[in-house]
Amino acid sequence: MAKLKIIRCKINNDQIEEQSGDDNTFEATINPEKYTHKLGLKYSGASPAGGAGAIGKSAAITKFSSTEPEKLDFSITLDGTGVVESTRETTVADQIVKLRDIAYDYDGDTHEPNPVKVVWGEGLEAFFGRLTSMSVDYTLFHPEGAALRAKITLSFVEAVTEAQEAREAGRSSPDMTHVVRVREGDTLPLLCQKIYSDASRYMEVARLNNLDNFRTLAPNTLLRFPPVR
Element (H, E) at 98: helix 92-99
Q: Which of 104, 128, 160 is the last residue of a domain?
A: 160
> Could you tell me the CATH number of the domain that includes residue 183?
3.10.350.10
For the range 135-143, what are the long-range contacts, defined as Cβ-Cβ under 8 Å and sequence gap of 24 or more?
136/96, 138/92, 140/81
| Number of domains present in the structure of the chain | 2
Q: What are the pLDDT digits (tens) for 25-62? A: 999 989 999 999 999 988 876 555 555 555 556 666 77
Residues 134 and 220 in one domain: no
- What lies within 8 Å, CB to CB, of 55 at 6+ separation is none
pLDDT of residue 127: 94
What digits encode the pLDDT tens for the residues 186-217? 889 988 888 888 888 899 999 888 888 877 88
Are 178 and 219 part of one and the same domain? yes
Range of the domain at 146: 5-160
CA distance 87 to 199: 62
CB atoms within 10 A of CB 176: 15
Instruction: Check whether residue 100 and residue 167 sit in a common domain.
Output: no
Same domain, 143 and 197: no
Same domain, 104 and 178: no
Shared domain for 156 and 64, answered yes or no, is yes
The answer to whether the pTM exceeds 0.85 is no
Q: Do 185 and 155 belong together in one domain? A: no
Q: What's the rounded Cα separation, in Å, for the pair 3 and 24?
A: 15
111 and 68 in one domain?
yes
DSSP-assigned letter for residue 102:
I
What pLDDT score does 32 carry?
A: 95
Q: Is 151 in the same domain as 177?
A: no
At 185, the pLDDT band (50, 70, 90 cuts) reads confident
Tell me the HSE value of 15 on the side-chain side, using a 13 A CA sphere. Answer: 6
Q: Give the burial class of 151: count Cβ atoms within 10 A of its Cβ; 0-12 exposed, 13-18 middle, 19 or more buried.
A: middle
Domain end (from 131, 160, 189): 160
> Given this model, what pLDDT does residue 57 score?
60
The yes-or-no verdict on residue 96 having pLDDT over 80 is yes
Distances (CA, A) of 138 to 32, 154, 199: 16, 15, 63
- Give the count of alpha carbons within 13 A of 87, CB side only: 23
Q: Which helix (H) or strand (E) holds 182?
A: none
Among 53-67, 77-91, 96-110, the minimum mean pLDDT is found in 53-67
The CA-CA-CA angle for residues 169, 171, 172, to 5°, reads 165
CA distance 88 to 91: 8
CB atoms within 10 A of CB 135: 10
Q: Is 209 found in the same domain as 147?
A: no
Reported as a single tens digit per residue, the pLDDT across 111-157 is 999 999 999 988 888 899 999 999 999 999 999 999 999 999 999 99
Residues 39 and 128 in one domain: yes
Residue 101 shares a structural domain with residue 187: no
* Burial category of 69 from C-beta neighbours within 10 Å (exposed 0-12, middle 13-18, buried 19 and up): middle
Indicate the residue among 117, 145, 160 that finishes a domain.
160
What is the CATH number for 30?
2.40.30
